[in-house]
A and B are shown apart, each in its own frame.
Chain A
Amino acid sequence: MMTNHGNRITQGQFSFLPDLTDEQITAQIKYALNNGWAVSVEYTDDPHPRNTYWEMFGMPMFDLKDPAGILMEINNCRKTFSNHYIRVTAFDSSRGWETPRMSFIVNRPKDEPGFGVVRQEGPGRTIRYTVHSYATDKPEGGRY
């Protein structure tokens, strides 16, 4: 049974929507900048939902006024890691938040194999379940 149509991973904002266009990404980043959040670009080839810490593509960008610079970095990242997941995160450093306020995927591999469920037989006929990404069977860098 396939519950996730097209096998697209759904992490962060807008992930059930079609891929965002550059104008839409710009508008989202503009919103983050207007709120004074620092935006950063991150990538990974391990899409496990518990893989919170993706690799940073350059430093987080502080004190920007205009989304053009961030879009430039996104495009650089897309060029370097065209077949990886790339996401944009907006970090709110204001007191009481100090946390990412936005996070959305801006690039996906062409082919997403999805996840399988692995069952482990525990003591007393207990079953432990774990989610396993088919992509991570291959070594890092050669997954997509």
Chain B
Amino acid sequence: MSEPNETPPPPDDTPVDLKAEYDASHIHEVLEKLDRELIGLKPVKTRIREIAALLLVERMRKKMALTAETPTLHMCFTGNPGTGKTTVAMRMADILHKLEYVREGHMVPVTRDDLVGQYIGHTAPKTKEIIKKAMGGVLFIDEAYYLYKPENERDYGQESIEILLQVMENNRDDLVVILAGYKDKIDRFFHSNPGMRSRIAHHVDFPDYQPDELLAIAKLMLAQQNYRLSPDAEKAFAEYIVRRMEQPQFANARSIRNALDRCRLRQANRLFARSGGLRKVDLMTIEAEDVLASRVFSET
């Protein structure tokens, strides 16, 4: 029951306090957290800032009774493995919630298995169930291109895509869809589904990390788990990163995390072998020898 708006729109020269609105929205906390906890990813951060600005201005416009259609915020994240697509998507849900674009701010991560059924008539209810779960938040479809299998024309993925397209168009206020995947495969996917491409306003490309960025990420990961690298170990790890990057199947931050897990394993082993004389600092520090024992150093 909406009552007709009796108040006349404010005059054109009404002052607009964007700064106060910005401070009130807590968005700077989220953006600062983003800067602090996500290393690198320049284009991604720029785009998030742009979106935040757009939503803020949109909110001011609404206050001034300048109605416009809600902006589409469906996004597509492309990038190599381990470049932080999922992490950013998770943040995105939080940011959009703070900006009051989505009502709940939760993220529902899904893959093809969650959306596509196994027999006729199974796909639609399955997809709809997921969509209902994601409403008020963000639906994150990882490796979205597997939804469409061109080699099998009876594949049910197409049905799922059609339902998604419909929801992306009609329920724009209710959920934000984020697709993610590797660049070339996503491009091919869009090529065969032009409708999907045109409904996504934001295509964000995640660049690969540089060695120094990876080192910063490693330190951040360790700090979160209450570990630290000794100065020697830090040098060794920088060397490790350079060598590891040359090897096949390098998955950016994910490889770093695995490497750190192995370092922790070696550190535990080393501490265990050492008899007595342990201090708290020993439990926290990863030494150069823990890093240097890695496979990449022996293969020279």
Tell me the minimal C-beta distance from A61 to chain B in angstroms: 6
Which B residues lie within 8 Å of A21 (CB)? 1
Contact between A66 and B171 (Cβ–Cβ < 8 Å)? no
**Interface stretch among B133-141, B155-163, B210-218?**
B133-141
Number of interface residues of A (CB under 8 A): 15
- The docked-state distance in angstroms from the alpha carbon of A21 to that of B2 is 11
A12-40, CB under 8 A of B: which get 1 and which 0?
Answer: 00000000010100000000000000000
Nearest CB of A to B150, in Å: 31
A-B contact pairs, 17 of them (CB 8 A): A21-B1, A23-B1, A58-B125, A63-B133, A64-B132, A64-B135, A65-B104, A65-B133, A66-B104, A66-B174, A68-B135, A68-B174, A68-B175, A69-B135, A70-B132, A72-B135, A72-B171
Contact of A112 with B by CB under 8 A? no
**B103 on the interface (CB 8 Å rule)?**
yes
Determine how close the nearest CB of chain B comes to the CB of A19; give it in whole angstroms: 12
**Beta-carbon contact of B1 and A69 below 8 Å:** no
Whether a CB of chain B sits under 8 angstroms from the CB of A92 is: no
Tell me the residues in window 59-110 of chain B with beta carbons closer than 8 Å to chain A beta carbons.
103-104, 106
| Interface status of A2 (Cβ within 8 A of chain B) | no
Residues of chain B within 8 A of A23, CB atoms compared: 1
The size bracket of the interface on B is 10 to 19
B residues in contact with A67, CB < 8 Å: 136
Do A65 and B106 have beta carbons less than 8 Å apart? yes
B131 within 8 A of A: yes
Give Cα A59–Cα B132 distance, bound, in whole angstroms: 12
Query: In angstroms, how far is the closest chain B Cβ from the Cβ of A125?
Result: 55
Choice from B1, B103, B125, B129 contacting A66 with Cβ under 8 Å: B103
Cross-chain contact B135 with A65 (CB below 8 angstroms): yes
Q: How far is the CA of A59 from the CA of B136 in the complex (A)?
A: 20
Per-position 1/0 for B117-133, Cβ under 8 A of A: 00000000100010111
Count of A-B contacts judged by CB separation below 8 Å: 41
Q: Are the C-beta atoms of A59 and B133 separated by less than 8 Å?
A: no
Please give the distance in Å from B129's CB to the nearest CB on chain A.
7
Q: Chain B residues near A63 (CB, 8 Å)?
A: 133
Residue ID in chain A nearest B173 by CB atoms: A68
Whether the Cβ atoms of A73 and B132 lie closer than 8 Å is yes
Interchain CB contact under 8 A, B1 and A61: no
List 7 A-B pairs, minimum CB-CB distance, nearest first. A66-B136, A69-B132, A68-B174, A68-B135, A69-B135, A65-B104, A66-B135
Q: Is B125 a contact of A65 with CB atoms below 8 Å?
A: no
Q: Say yes or no: A64-B133 contact (C-beta < 8 A), given A21-B1, A23-B1.
A: yes
A60 to B129, CA, bound (A): 10
Closest chain-A Cβ to B104's Cβ sits at a distance in Å of 4
> Could you tell me if B104 and A69 are in contact, using CB atoms closer than 8 angstroms?
no
Q: Which residues of A contact B106 (CB under 8 A)?
A: 65
Which residue, B106, B137, B174, has most C-beta atoms of chain A within 10 A?
A: B174
Residues of B within 8 A of A73 (CB): 132
Inter-chain pairs besides A21-B1, A69-B133, 11 sampled, C-beta below 8 Å: A23-B1, A58-B125, A59-B125, A61-B129, A64-B135, A65-B106, A65-B135, A65-B137, A66-B135, A69-B132, A70-B132
Min CB–CB distance A39 → chain B (angstroms): 10
Please state if A59 and B129 are interface contacts (CB–CB under 8 Å).
yes
Q: Which residue of A lies closest to B171 (CB)?
A: A68
- Name B137's closest neighbour in chain A (CB-CB): A65
Question: Complex: how many Å from CA A119 to CA B238?
Answer: 92
Provided the pairs A21-B1, A58-B125 are in contact, do residues A66 and B131 lie with their beta carbons within 8 angstroms? no
Interface core residue of B129, B131, B132, B175 (most chain A CB under 10 Å): B132
Docked-complex contact A69 and B131, CB < 8 angstroms: yes
Q: If A21-B1, A23-B1 touch, does A68 touch B136 (CB 8 Å cutoff)? A: yes
Chain A residue, CB-CB nearest to B102: A66
Q: Tell me the minimal C-beta distance from B210 to chain A in angstroms.
A: 38
Taking the closest CB of chain B, its distance from the CB of A22, in whole angstroms, is 10
CA A2 – CA B137 in complex, angstroms? 49
- For the complex, what is the distance from the CA of A64 to the CA of B128, rounded to whole Å? 12
- Bound-complex Cα distance A41 to B174 (A): 20
Task: Quote the shortest CB–CB distance from A21 to chain B (angstroms).
Answer: 6
List residues of A (37-96) whose CB comes within 8 Å of B's CBs.
Answer: 58-59, 61, 63-70, 72-73
